[in-house]
């Protein structure tokens, strides 16, 4: 059975309880806007089109959401916001009668594509299908009212419900699948004579029953999948649920997380075999960890490729942004290292504590172990870059390159003023400020010569008169 699916995402509401300037559906969960989760999930169903209903902060919301590959994403404004039925009415003109409309909410981020597919299967292109769930505390939700034979008769909103109806624990999740031609006709019949004076989408159930059509409920048990975000507390709770799921997926793959409750992925994390991740690490953007990589506690790693066997010691910050960071096989990084965009480290490179590397290539076996800065540099194989040494890469207007050829030894506390090249195998004496290129194999010392005066008497403190 196959029919076209058009998705409508309701995202016009205000989200007052977030107490934020930012529209609710743009608040982030796992590093992605709430409504983006919903759109990305719709894309996995191969929806023909995804229509997002915007209202509050419409311009921001429209600018803040992106179409996944091969998905036609469009926006329709709802102004003013007169209820969920009124919201879907705004989308109806762009929907086609040959398909099924799947209605989702922009503030319900963790529904799984498989659950929505199951709902679409229940709809089968011809029935009204509702996603429902039993809740221990159904306060605030629309209740599923069933007849004697268990058939669904209506959804009654909490504020409109009788005491008896409020005792019903089966609630409407806010998600339905409905043949578009039926939806179109039913929405035209909506009114707002109810406790909230709103046009309720949920009234379509009433119309279906009146028209003699069966209403099917697809009842699930996983509350996280239909949980909405209305407050910072709920956002934080769903964030943990989301992270726990990501952690469990990695554990199943064999990744050894020291504590799945102290672990955050805000993007894509791809791990090889025998990867170990200690507590309180954060992964952002796109991160790949090769076989046998170990990440120490309290590391933040964003947009980076860490090759097999590399060890990232605790408190290391890696941020690749657009240029990316690459850490070669068997490299040792940190503790307390900082790798910035364009850091490209070869195999067995060592970057130690309080060393910053930006837009620099380090060839195999190069080492910068303590308190150093390498910016806009090309560093050859086996170079040893001393403690406290820096590349002076910026003249106040432009950035310049430093080239340190293979097997160079740079002593401690040197300044290499770019543009400058240190020839292969050369040595730079500690404390030197190098402004001119040096020849291969040369020792270069550029500092005041040491003067020692024998038996030097230090001044003594004068006595007060």
Catalytic site positions = 370
Residue 464 neighbours by CB under 8 Å, 6+ apart: none
Contact pick of 174, 179, 309, 365 for ligand UD1 (by CB under 6 A) = 174
**Region for 57 from its dihedrals, namely left if φ exceeds 0, alpha if ψ lies in -120 to 50, beta otherwise:** left
Q: Which stretch binds ligand UD1 (CB under 6 A): 9-17, 213-221, 396-404, 450-458?
A: 9-17
Q: Which stretch binds ligand UD1 (CB under 6 A): 99-107, 327-335, 342-350, 422-430?
A: 99-107
Contact pick of 38, 133, 180, 200 for ligand UD1 (by CB under 6 A) = 200
Distance CA 350, CA 346 (A): 10
Identity of the residue, 134 or 276, whose beta carbon is nearer to ligand UD1 in the bound complex:
134
Instruction: Retrieve residue 58's tokens.
Output: 């419409």
438 lies in the site for ligand UD1, by CB under 6 A? no
Binding residues for ligand UD1, total number by CB under 6 A: 28
Distance CA 106, CA 91 (A): 15
DSSP code of 94?
Answer: G
Distance CA 216, CA 32 (A): 32
86 lies in the site for ligand UD1, by CB under 6 A? yes
Chain positions 73 to 102 lying near Ca ion, rule: CB under 5 A, are: none
29 lies in the site for ligand UD1, by CB under 6 A? no
> Whose CB is nearest to ligand UD1?
142
183 lies in the site for ligand UD1, by CB under 6 A? no
Distance from the Cα of residue 144 to its chain's centroid? 35
Distance CA 159, CA 139 (A): 9
> Whose CB is nearest to Ca ion?
228
238 lies in the site for ligand UD1, by CB under 6 A? no
| H-run or E-run covering 72 | none
Helices (H) and strands (E) in the chain, counts: 8, 38
Q: Which stretch binds ligand UD1 (CB under 6 A): 127-135, 166-174, 290-298, 457-465?
A: 166-174
Instruction: Retrieve residue 312's tokens.
Output: 């990232």
Q: Which stretch binds Ca ion (CB under 5 A): 228-236, 275-283, 309-317, 339-347?
A: 228-236
Q: For residues 405 and 424, is the Cβ–Cβ distance under 8 A?
A: yes
33 lies in the site for ligand UD1, by CB under 6 A? no
Angstrom distances, CA of residue 372 to CA of 125, 343, 353, 446: 65, 14, 9, 19
Chain positions 245 to 284 lying near ligand UD1, rule: CB under 6 A, are: none
15 lies in the site for Ca ion, by CB under 5 A? no
Largest alpha-carbon pair distance within the chain?
A: 113
CB of 137 to ligand UD1, least distance (A): 13
Contact pick of 105, 111, 389, 438 for ligand UD1 (by CB under 6 A) = 105
Distance from the Cα of residue 21 to its chain's centroid? 21
Q: For residues 83 and 194, is the Cβ–Cβ distance under 8 A?
A: no
202 lies in the site for ligand UD1, by CB under 6 A? yes
Please give the residue ranges that form the binding site for ligand UD1 (CB under 6 A). Answer: 10-13, 53, 55, 78, 81-84, 86-87, 105-107, 141-142, 155, 157, 171-174, 200-202, 228
């Amino acid at each position: 059975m196959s029919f076209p699916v058009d998705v409508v995402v309701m995202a016009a509401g205000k989200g007052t309880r977030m107490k934020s300037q930012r529209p609710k559906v743009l608040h982030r969960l796992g590093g992605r806007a709430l409504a983006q989760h919903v759109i990305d999930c719709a894309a996995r169903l191969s929806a023909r089109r995804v229509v997002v209903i915007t209202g509050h902060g419409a311009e921001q919301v429209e600018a803040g959401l992106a179409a996944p590959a091969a998905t036609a994403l469009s926006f329709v404004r709802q102004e003013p916001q007169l209820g969920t039925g009124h919201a879907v009415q705004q989308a109806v003109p762009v929907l086609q009668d040959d398909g099924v409309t799947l209605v989702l909410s922009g503030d319900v981020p963790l529904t799984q594509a498989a659950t929505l597919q199951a709902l679409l299967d229940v709809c089968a292109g011809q029935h009204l299908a509702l996603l429902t769930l039993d809740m221990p505390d159904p306060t605030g939700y629309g209740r599923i009212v069933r007849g004697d034979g268990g058939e669904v008769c209506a959804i009654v909103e909490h504020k409109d419900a009788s005491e008896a109806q409020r005792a019903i624990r089966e609630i409407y999740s806010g998600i339905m699948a409905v043949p578009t031609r039926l939806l179109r006709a039913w929405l035209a019949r909506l009114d707002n004579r109810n406790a909230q004076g709103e046009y309720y989408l949920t009234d379509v159930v009433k119309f279906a029953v009146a028209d003699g059509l069966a209403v099917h409920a697809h009842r699930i048990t996983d509350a996280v999948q239909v949980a909405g975000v209305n407050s910072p507390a709920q956002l934080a709770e769903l964030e943990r649920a989301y992270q726990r799921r990501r952690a469990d997926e990695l554990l199943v793959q064999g990744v050894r997380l020291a504590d799945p409750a102290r672990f955050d992925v805000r993007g894509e994390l791809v791990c090889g075999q025998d990867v170990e991740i200690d507590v309180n690490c954060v992964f952002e953007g796109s991160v790949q960890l090769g076989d046998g990589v170990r990440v120490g506690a309290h590391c933040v790693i964003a947009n980076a490729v860490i090759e097999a066997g590399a060890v990232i010691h605790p408190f290391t910050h890696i941020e690749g942004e657009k240029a990316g960071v690459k850490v070669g096989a068997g490299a040792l990084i940190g503790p307390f290292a900082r790798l910035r965009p364009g850091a490209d480290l070869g195999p067995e490179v060592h970057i130690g504590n309080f060393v910053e590397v930006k837009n620099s290539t380090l060839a195999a076996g190069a080492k910068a172990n303590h308190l150093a800065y390498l910016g806009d540099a090309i560093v050859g194989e086996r170079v040893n870059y001393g403690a406290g040494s820096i590349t002076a890469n910026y003249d106040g207007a432009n950035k310049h390159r430093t080239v340190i050829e293979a097997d160079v030894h740079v002593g401690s506390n040197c300044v290499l003023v770019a543009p400058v090249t240190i020839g292969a195998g050369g040595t730079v004496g500690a404390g030197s400020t190098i402004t001119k290129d040096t020849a291969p194999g040369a020792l270069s010392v550029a500092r005041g010569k040491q003067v020692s005066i024998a038996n030097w008497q230090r001044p003594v403190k004068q006595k007060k008169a």
